[in-house]
Each structure stands twice: as structure tokens, then as C-alpha cells.
Amino acid sequence: MDKTKRTFLHDAINFVSLAAQSLENDDFSDCFHAASPYEMKGSGVLYVFSFIIRYFLLFPLRVVSFSIGASVIGLYFLYGKYTHNYDAISSSFTLFNKLLMTVLNFKANHHGTKVKHSEPHVYVSNHTSFIDYILLSSYKFSHACIAEVHGGLFGFILLHILAHNGSIGFKRSDKQDRSQIIGKIKEHIHRNLAPMLIFPEGTCVNNRYVVLFQKGAFDLDTLVCPVAIKYQKDLMEPYWNRRMHGFTGHIFYLATRWRIDAEVYWMDPVRRKEDETSVEFSHRVKNMIAEQLNIKNTLWNGSFKSSPVLNDREILKNCFVKVYCRIRNNLQNNQLAENKDESFIFSNASISQESKNDRTYFGCVSYKAFINECCKEYLREKHANISH
């Protein structure tokens, strides 16, 4: 069939095929799907015995132990606050995180070396739950962090406790507030206080995937120290799904598990190359973390999980149309020129080598390659809009 004589019906069939494959291969939803339920399934004597021990023995003991330890550390924190002793404040944060590690029976194996560099630097890590902060801040020294301001207990801790070590809260819906974050981070890291820890994904992911890294942490022109976290899921599910469980509910769930096991990889610091944009730098660091953990690397923007900004949705929609038209025009021109080089399909963009069963768009482009190109186009459009 002559590919230059396609009708609207042929294109419509291609889009229906794409939609069907999208439903079948929904990588995006899989990024935020818990691998196992919050409660262990099953019944019988062993489960009942486990339930009784965890909820009616371990949990009360942990609450009492935490209350006593937190009271003592709280007095030390107040001493540092009112005497303006930053070392005491920093030590109290580290001790508090170590207390939480002990109370939750948190077992972590650390690989590599964690260093507090003398030059400005930030730590970046994949993100599964708020316990990522506890895990990383309990080892050697504590971190400041950046997080979206929420209500309830989490908001109180961020604004009234974590703020004392340089942690920064922001409102995602407030564009003016977001534009000031980079300046606050730069000011913090140049004061050589608690090293800043940033989770560039901007949302919790289920520890089986890594989603798009927002480029803010890579616009700082400073040393970046990647950290990779991998949880063992034999006895618990570490992923914090905020749609299903609030902050307090997730704490209760963690406090009623037998233990939490994790592997932490402190990777070598990296710098942005001279010919590398901040977006390319963020992709390179994300690839390093994904390869270290052997988890699936995706280009999805995690902000689409909850309530994506309408303007972003419009940009993404236009990117799908733009990439589709580019493929169609390039294929037609390619055929007319009798040039069989597939590199022209995406205007010299690379095409993933996929199985022939997963091909769409004239049988020349894979579903995954098309989606990846749309995501790349989205990033280019977003970067251009921010620059203007």
C-alpha cells in the first residue's frame, strides 16, 4: 500500500491502536501502584499471632520508647535553639532520626562513602516515602530538605521543627513562591549548614520505577551527590500513597511492622558538563540511580499523578500532535526520496529497538519510542516556556 496516500481513517485507526496499547502498557500508573497491600493477606494461627504481637505489644512499646527518647532529645534541641548553638540543633536532628530508626526497627546497609563537602553541594535521591529523609539523616549527619507544605502533623513538623536546620517549605500552587525556592536553596548551601537533600521526582514513587527529575536541583551550578535507596518488601510496603493514607496513617502502618530493611548507595559526586544543559544533567543523574538500583527508568512527569496543571496538559497534548505530524511528514518525505534510513522518522532522534509486536505508526515506530519522544518534546516545550 502506498504510504503517501493515507486517509483520515488510517490515521484514526493508528490512534485507536495507540490508545489500546497505552491502556495495556500503562507505565505511568504502575509507577504509583503499591507492590503489595498494606495489610498482610491470609488467615490462620500464625497471622493472628503476628497481628496480636505487632499491634498490642510492639506498637505500645514503640510509642513509650519514642515518647521518652523524644522528650530527652527535645530538651537538647530547645537548649540549642535558645542558646543559638547550631551544633546542638544539628546533633539533636541526627539523634532524633537515629531514635526513629531504632523505634521502627529500621535496618540499613550503607554502601559507599557519605561526605560533607567543604564546597557548596546538594544530595539528590529517588523518593519512596518520608522515611527516606529519616534513613539518610540518621547516618553520620542530618540533612535539610525541601518539601511541599501540607496541613496536619506533617505541615507542623516541616514549618516548626525542620525549618530550624534550614529545611524549606513551598506551595506548589503558588508560582511566586516556587520561583523563590532556587534563591533560598542557593543561600542555604553557601552558608555551609546542614547539607541540602532534594528529591527531584517531586512525589513518592513505588521503588520499582524512577520518574522524571525536575531540573531545579540541577540549575544550581554546584556539586551534586546522588543517593540511591532500595527497600526490601518482604514484610512491609514502604511506598507512601498519599491518596490512600495520610501522614499519621502511614506512621501507624510503619510502627506496626516487624522491621524495615533498606540498601543505601552513596554514589560519587558529579558536576554538570560544559556542553550539558540542566535537563540533560538531571537525566544523567537519574540514569545513574536507576542503573544502580536496577529499577525501570521512565520519562513520566510525576506531577501528573494528582492534579496536573491545565496548561501542562495542553502542552503535552500539543506535543503528541507535533510528534505525530513529524513522523507522518518525515515518513512521506523519506519514501518520496527513496531513502530507507529510519533515523529521519524523529528528525534524527534515536529510535528504541523494540519487538515487532509493539510497533505502530505505519509499522516503523514502536509504541515506547513514540511515547518517549512525546515526553522529550514536552520537556523541550516546558524549558522554552520557562526561559521566556
Per-residue pLDDT tens digits for 231-252: 998 888 899 988 788 899 999 9
Mean pLDDT (whole number) for 79-83: 92
- Pairwise CA distance, residues 255 & 63, whole Å: 9
Q: Which residues contact 99 (CB under 8 A, 6 or more apart)?
A: 66, 69, 70, 73
The set of cell numbers assigned to 21 is 496499547
Residue 74's pLDDT is: 94
Mean pLDDT over 183-189 rounds to: 89
Q: Count other C-beta atoms under 10 Å from residue 16's C-beta.
A: 10
Residue 342, pLDDT > 80, answer no
Render pLDDT for 13-23 as a digit per residue (tens, 0 to 9). Answer: 666 766 665 55
371, 267 in Cβ contact below 8 A? no
Nearest 5°: phi and psi at 302? -60, -20
The answer, yes or no, to whether residue 38 has pLDDT greater than 50, is no
- Which has the minimum average pLDDT: 73-82, 112-121, 310-319? 310-319
Q: Which residue has the higher pLDDT, 146 or 47?
A: 146
Report the candidate in 225, 176, 178 with the shortest Cα–Cα distance to residue 202. 178
Q: Which of 26, 125, 11 is nearest to 367 (CA)?
A: 26
Per-residue pLDDT reduced to its tens digit, 86-98? 889 999 999 999 9
- Considering just the CA atoms, what is the radius of gyration of the chain in Å? 24
What is this structure's pTM? Answer: 0.75
Of 313 and 280, the one with more pLDDT: 280
Q: What is the mean pLDDT of the chain?
A: 82
Gap between the Cα atoms of 145 and 158, Å rounded:
9
| φ, ψ at 360 (rounded to 5°) | -140, -175
Q: Which residue has the cell 537525566?
A: 283
Give me the phi and psi of 225, to 5 degrees please: -110, 100
Residue 344: CB partners within 8 Å, gap ≥ 6? Answer: 330, 333, 334
Kindly report, residue by residue over 39-48, the tens digit of the pLDDT.
445 556 777 8
Per-residue DSSP letters for 55-113?
A: IIIIHHHHHHHHHHHHHHHHHHHHHHHHTT-HHHHHHHHHHHHHHHHHHTTEEEEEEE-
In the Cβ-directed half-sphere of 259, how many Cα atoms lie within 13 Å? 9
Report the C-alpha gap between 195 and 224 in whole angstroms: 11
β-pair type (359-360, 365-366): antiparallel
- Inform me whether the pLDDT recorded for 33 exceeds 80: no
Average pLDDT over residues 106-130: 94
Length of the chain, in residues: 388
